[in-house]
Structure 1
């Protein structure tokens, strides 16, 4: 078993309107836009990174906003709910905040001894806020949510699968996860060391139809490893396990390898380093459009193809 994986690094999803996406995650959820760059495979599309003050691994939710994209369909072979950690005492604050902004949300769910609020973003992506008793990660103090109630980082993710056993075997035999608990209704929770930002729930056939990926769909989930040598060890473990895995790809702020787990969800293993401060100061994170070196000569054309966005953390959100 590998001890090279320490939890979730980030989750990446697809959105439609770039400005709407920025407004929701900054003004409603109070996250910081820590990096504004491009989709390396589609340079005419933004890549937004939202997270805590520095974009710490385990706090990051990223988006490819394809202008005009239709809504996807939630279903099998997909990460259906992305969960964020909030303080245990903040569940009423968030219930009132979301209701006051006109966002439809679930009754408070009870799951694994934790209270959970469930809702969707403007593109229909499933979001959960989980009231966690002990999460010592420091929330960003510069957002639209008071620091005492602000999101601490990712809490986990839910994968919807036809069969749980093949994915569970990969999680436990290669990715360092251990089964924590099973709930009625075929939900299994996996964790590494009981820390926030690492849990993965496997749910069987809920909903039972195949997913259709578009706006509101999660593209992939990335697990964190310390550095490049550890990542290469994970790559070799996957190869020995019989999983086709990509070569290492340089994403500027981390190195990545990609593979599909048996249920069809795209997995990534990303390095913790170098992080988001390699090309911007802490104070200016997310302010400028940052391009990879190979795209620098195309900046003028790239900027012409991108719709300008505005970021105002304190301005009220209009649903």
Structure 2
């Protein structure tokens, strides 16, 4: 049976694209690898992508800036992904705390599962964590964050479930293994799952069990979905068939140009995507030129220059 061995990317809503770009490139030191239109509403919304230098699956963060389509602020809570963890090396906690202090980023540091987590938000309130651990991903070397402290892809994600057992069942149907819960809490309110065969990054999902917490509200500052990795179309179809055989509803494939996607809303309320590793971000740009030009899919018949004039200004150089 095909298995899912990690996360592919995560997607959230933001407000101003320039503020978003400045935070992820200047503060976190990630690379801006792609700027496209949002395929279903190309005249109003960007799709922005950040990652390691190569655009490796398991390092990719994407955003829909909603400036041209006003959206209310969201509320992270039950029924959503409520944090995305990015891996930092052991010994780098002091560096990131100092860096956040310099950039007026509020944060809170805690210990769990023998790791240190620095919780913070992006400028729109989207929840993140920097989590200490090992990773096979190289940091972005042309950032002003020193290599020894740089972000090394995704660590994992936290899903705040309305139906924790249902969420756990989906993860187990995918072949993920329950490895324990956070001993720092009196109750098992953070159940950890790991991918069956780690690819070296993005291989953790924590299911949060906090029944008295508020219900999440989708909007700016919340996660739209997390995407899991499938090596190719065949593997993605096998995963979808397995989920359907176990009573879950998955969508038909969607062509996202740089990967192929299917979706499921798991019983706890969060949206899971299953995305293929390829074709990848070099499908329409050379590696060293990723993110330099506005892109659109070949099948979308629009005047890209006209669309750019309608979208908010975004300076990326």
SS at match of 1:273: coil
CA contact 2:250–2:264 (8 Å) conserved in 1: yes
User: CA distance change for structure 1 residues 248 and 155 in 2, over 3 Å: closer, same or farther?
Assistant: same
Once the two structures are superposed, the pairs formed by residues 96-135 of structure 1 within 5 Å of their partners are: 96-106=98-108, 108-132=109-133, 134-135=134-135
SS at match of 2:92: helix
Query: Which residue does the alignment assign to 2:257?
Result: 252
CA contact 2:2–2:238 (8 Å) conserved in 1: no
CA contact 1:225–1:270 (8 Å) conserved in 2: yes
Matched, 1:78 2:73: no
Deviation at 1:6, TM superposition (A): 1.2
Deviation at 1:41, TM superposition (A): 1.7
Deviation at 1:296, TM superposition (A): 4.4
More displaced, 193-202 or 112-121?
A: 193-202
Q: Which runs of 5+ in 2 are unaligned?
A: none
The normalised TM-score by structure 2 is 0.94
Once the two structures are superposed, residues 130-178 of structure 1 have per-residue CA deviations (whole angstroms, 9 ceiling, x without a partner) of: 011x2232111012312221100010000111231111011012x1210
SS at match of 1:34: strand
Pick aligned residue for 2:193 from 187, 190, 194: 190
More displaced, 238-247 or 257-266?
A: 238-247
1:146 and 1:3 map into 2 onto residues whose CA distance is 38
Query: Which residue does the alignment assign to 1:88?
Result: 90
CA contact 1:74–1:207 (8 Å) conserved in 2: no
Once the two structures are superposed, the pairs formed by residues 1-319 of structure 1 within 5 Å of their partners are: 2-43=1-42, 44-67=44-67, 68-106=70-108, 108-132=109-133, 134-173=134-173, 175-183=174-182, 184=185, 185=187, 186-192=189-195, 193=197, 195-205=200-210, 208-312=213-317
Once the two structures are superposed, residues 50-93 of structure 1 have per-residue CA deviations (whole angstroms, 9 ceiling, x without a partner) of: 00001100000100010153321111101111110011121111
Once the two structures are superposed, residues 110-141 of structure 1 have per-residue CA deviations (whole angstroms, 9 ceiling, x without a partner) of: 01000111111110011100011x22321110
Deviation at 1:207, TM superposition (A): 6.3
CA contact 2:135–2:153 (8 Å) conserved in 1: no
CA contact 2:259–2:275 (8 Å) conserved in 1: yes
2:55 and 2:211 map into 1 onto residues whose CA distance is 31
More displaced, 175-184 or 15-24?
A: 175-184
1:48 and 1:178 map into 2 onto residues whose CA distance is 32
Structure 1 runs of 4+ off > 4 angstroms?
A: none
2:123 and 2:212 map into 1 onto residues whose CA distance is 20
CA RMSD of aligned residues (A): 1.4
1:228 and 1:247 map into 2 onto residues whose CA distance is 12
SS at match of 2:302: helix
The normalised TM-score by structure 1 is 0.93
